[in-house]
């Protein structure tokens, strides 16, 4: 049993009790002014120049950890922050003053158990718009994605990827062969165009155009333009490739997968030459026994198809066919195409 060298309390101390140790050596020695900024629209908080989807307590905990100075001998410091703010509206321009209650725990040499202490410091909270939300209400753009010959699937996938990365579409401009997206950020454009090339077999051309110069730093500012030409075929199309007529079930980069419409067998290939897209044409089934025949859309005569692909059809049904070199290939029911 020993006594505290400062207050005389009996216990296992060497040489100060926890209370006296904290009095002379606080876990937190000093704080810088604690001011936080929060977006009034998306409710993200700024910490060290980055915006995070934290709660208010989490945001202030991050900031206080960053601006506070711990004691020289303190290890394993942990902070728990509870805010005390008056009721307020989360509107742009609102400034709120209050205080934060900090519960700190940490280890110091000579103490078998962790020490804990509490602090109360003034804090300020300011509501504004983050950089992304400011751009959403402006026709500001840093990049242009020129999407050409895209299917509905490719277009929908592109917009979902942009949304998942928080890239705002400032404007959509429809052109005869596709659509131009004016984007609030150019950082993600290179990654996106590479993914479109790998996923859909797109042809990608990237260029950068000088559009401004920073008045303070004299740094030249460029707008990135990505021309993404999708192949004219996609899943559900019929193509002629390497001597075969194929109904495509998937297109992944340079790899095509589908059904050989002459044999009904599944095929997978990386074509050495550009596939030829065949037109789907609507017609009518004329007979199903002993073989399936349809009305030729050019001659209007009954003609046999190469393979029925196991489809359940009856005379009079409307179907789609593809035609090449006089041969007819049954595609699918016209209303499902």
Residue 110 and residue 8 share a domain:
yes
Looking at 112, 132, 152, which one is the last position of a domain? 132
Checking if the pLDDT of 239 tops 80, the result is: yes
Compute the average pLDDT of residues 201-228: 78
Residue 260 and residue 287 share a domain:
no
Percent of residues, the chain, with pLDDT higher than 90: 12
Contact (Cβ atoms closer than 8 angstroms) between residue 222 and residue 207: no
Read off the pLDDT band of 334 (50, 70, 90): very low
Residue 121 and residue 11 share a domain:
yes
* Residue 335 confidence (pLDDT): 37
Taking only the tens place, the pLDDT of each residue in 3-35 is: 676 676 766 556 777 777 777 777 777 777 888
3-state SS string for the chain:
CEECCCCCCEECCCCCCHHHHHHHCCCEEEECCEEEEEECCCCCEEECCEEECCCHHHHHHHHHHHHEEECCCCEEEEEEEEEECCCCCCCCCCEEEEEEEEEEEEECCCCCCCEEEEEEEEEEEEEECCHHHHHHCCCCCCEEEEEECCCHHHHHHHHHHHHHCCCCEEEEEEECCEEEEEECCCCCHHHHHHHHHHHHCCEEEEEEEEEEECCCCCCEEEEEEEEEECCCCCCCCEEEECCEEEEEEEEECCEEEEEECCCCCEEEECCCCCCEEECCEEEEEEECCCCCEEECCCCCCEEEECCCCCCCCCCCCEEEEEEECCEEEEEEECCCC
* Alpha carbons 303 and 308: distance in angstroms, whole number: 13
Burial 63-79 (b: 16+ CB within 10 A, else e): bbbeebebbeebeebeb
Looking at 132, 166, 187, which one is the last position of a domain? 132
Read off the pLDDT band of 217 (50, 70, 90): low
Compute the average pLDDT of residues 209-228: 74
Question: The whole model's pTM is what?
Answer: 0.47
Residues sharing a CB contact under 8 Å with residue 150, sequence separation 6 or more, in sequence order: 158, 178, 179, 228, 230
Q: Residue 164 belongs to a domain with what CATH number?
A: 3.10.20
Residue 153 and residue 106 share a domain:
no
Looking at 76, 107, 132, which one is the last position of a domain? 132
* Residue 337 confidence (pLDDT): 37
Residue 286 and residue 170 share a domain:
no
Domain total in the chain = 4
Residue 6 and residue 112 share a domain:
yes
Residue 247 and residue 219 share a domain:
no
Residue 265 and residue 252 share a domain:
yes
Checking if the pLDDT of 37 tops 70, the result is: yes
* Residue 227 confidence (pLDDT): 93
Taking only the tens place, the pLDDT of each residue in 164-195 is: 887 888 888 999 889 999 988 888 898 999 88
Residue 15 and residue 86 share a domain:
yes
Q: What is the CA radius of gyration of the chain?
A: 34
Residue 181 and residue 115 share a domain:
no
Domain that holds residue 248: 232-277
* Residue 142 confidence (pLDDT): 83
* Residue 135 confidence (pLDDT): 63
Taking only the tens place, the pLDDT of each residue in 111-158 is: 777 888 888 889 999 998 887 777 665 667 889 999 998 888 889 999
Taking only the tens place, the pLDDT of each residue in 69-122 is: 777 777 888 888 888 999 988 888 899 999 989 888 888 776 777 888 888 889
Residue 38 and residue 104 share a domain:
yes
* Residue 140 confidence (pLDDT): 74
Residue 126 and residue 13 share a domain:
yes
CA atoms within 13 A on the CB side of 96: 22
């Amino acid at each position: 049993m020993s006594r505290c060298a400062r207050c005389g309390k009996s216990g296992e101390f060497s040489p100060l009790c926890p209370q006296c140790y904290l009095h002379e050596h606080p876990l937190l020695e000093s704080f810088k002014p604690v001011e936080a900024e929060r977006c009034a629209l998306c409710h993200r908080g700024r910490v060290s120049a980055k915006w995070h989807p934290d709660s208010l307590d989490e945001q202030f905990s991050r900031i206080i950890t960053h601006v506070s100075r711990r004691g020289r001998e303190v290890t394993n410091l942990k902070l728990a922050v509870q805010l005390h703010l008056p009721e307020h509206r989360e509107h742009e321009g609102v400034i709120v003053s209050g205080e934060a209650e900090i519960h700190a725990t940490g280890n110091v040499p000579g103490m078998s158990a962790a020490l804990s202490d509490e602090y109360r410091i003034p804090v300020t909270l300011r509501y504004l718009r983050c950089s992304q939300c400011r751009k959403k209400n402006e026709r500001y753009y840093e990049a242009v994605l020129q999407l050409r010959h895209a299917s509905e699937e490719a277009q929908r996938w592109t917009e979902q990827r942009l949304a998942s990365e928080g890239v705002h579409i400032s404007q959509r401009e429809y052109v005869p062969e596709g659509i131009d997206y004016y984007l609030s950020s150019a950082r993600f454009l290179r990654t996106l165009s590479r993914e479109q090339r790998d996923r859909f077999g797109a042809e990608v051309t990237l260029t950068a155009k000088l559009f401004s110069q920073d008045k303070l730093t004299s740094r030249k500012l460029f707008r990135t333009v990505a021309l993404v030409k999708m192949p004219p075929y996609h899943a559900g199309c019929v193509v002629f490739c390497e001597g075969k007529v194929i109904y495509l079930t998937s297109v992944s980069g340079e790899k095509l997968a589908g059904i050989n419409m002459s044999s009904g067998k599944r095929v997978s290939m990386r074509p050495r030459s550009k596939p030829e897209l065949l037109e789907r044409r609507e017609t009518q089934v004329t007979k199903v026994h002993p073989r399936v025949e349809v009305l030729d859309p050019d001659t209007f005569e009954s003609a046999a198809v190469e393979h029925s692909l196991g489809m359940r059809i009856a005379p009079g049904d409307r179907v789609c066919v593809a035609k090449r070199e006089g041969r007819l290939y049954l595609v699918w029911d016209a209303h499902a195409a």
